Amino acid sequence: MAAISTKLSSLGWRVLPGPVRSKLQTAAGRQFLRFLPVSIAALVCSQLALLVFLGVIGLTAGTAGFIASMFGAAVSYVLSRWAWGRKGRPDLLRETVPFWIVSAAAWTFLSFASHEASVWSRSMGHSHWERVAVVAVVYFLANCLTFAARFVIFHYVLFARPKGASAGRPGQEELPESLELAGDRRAEPPRR
């Protein structure tokens, strides 16, 4: 199974345009690739919660979007610590509180986007499930926007390594070499 996974990632890596590949080989690009599965897991969880709360239970779109984004944030919190190589107890003031502040901003935005999509869908005369579909699509797109914003905040602010900090500092580990995709190793610079 691992060989198939390696072959698929190698194929996916080769079809990317050169400029994209080179961006993904930077430290920020490797961190982005590590954060991507975290966001996908959180997105799937929150999309499913949105469909249950809006479509099945019948909450308003704004409330369903708000609660669904809370479910996604819980998944994101647990997995984000892994994505940034954090181990042990989280620092309450430097990690936990800022994470939940950023998450609350995302909840507000996603709730607003869901509400507005629902209002628009009702004005168009859509049925219940058509309205659910419209809200789900808008929620997905809004979630993609918050993903990009959260990555920037997490990478460059919240989990950023302090300038001059050594790579060996606890909680600030370098990304493992195994994160390189499909055996794509950069050559050592020539020694003189």
Q: Where are the domains of the chain?
A: 29-160
pTM for the structure as a whole: 0.70
pLDDT in tens, 58-104: 999 999 999 999 999 999 888 877 776 777 787 788 778 888 898 89
Question: Dihedral of CA 2/85/157/103: which sign?
Answer: positive
Query: Cα–Cα distance between 106 and 159 in angstroms, integer?
Result: 18
